[in-house]
Amino acid sequence: MWAFGRGIDLTSCKLPTEGYLRIPRPRASYGRALSIVEAEWTGKEREWAVTYLRWALQQEFTVEQPLHVIRPVDFERGPKPVRNETGLALVRVLERAAREIA
């Protein structure tokens, strides 16, 4: 997966208007996404998503940043088990969490 993290401030960067998901306050947004997944998902998809989100919180977002940017297509085309439905479902949860945090 491709993403910016580790303290890079993207708030003043001009990015293409399509193909990117902007996640404000990523530590809070990923934390909210983790809560949603833990409460609403089941099975292997839940296990994978919880592992990924916990990893992101422990490795990428040790401090709050103003903005995080990902390419949803990377979740669709990424390595198993990320790709296809599970990866795209996680993108939708991240979008939802970002809206709730904003």
Residue 55 within any structural domain of the chain:
yes
- The mean predicted confidence, pLDDT, of the chain is 83
Cα 45 to the chain's mean position, in Å?
A: 15
Residue 15 within any structural domain of the chain:
no
pLDDT for residue 2 is more than 50: no
Residue 48 within any structural domain of the chain:
yes
Mean pLDDT of 37-48: 94
Q: Tell me, what's the pLDDT at 1?
A: 40
Mean pLDDT of 61-77: 81
- Cα gap 80→93, rounded to integer Å: 19
* Residue 63 CB neighbour total at 10 angstroms: 7
Residue 12 within any structural domain of the chain:
no
Give residue for tokens 């902007």. 22
Mean pLDDT of 9-28: 82
Domain count, the chain: 1
Q: Tell me, what's the pLDDT at 75?
A: 79
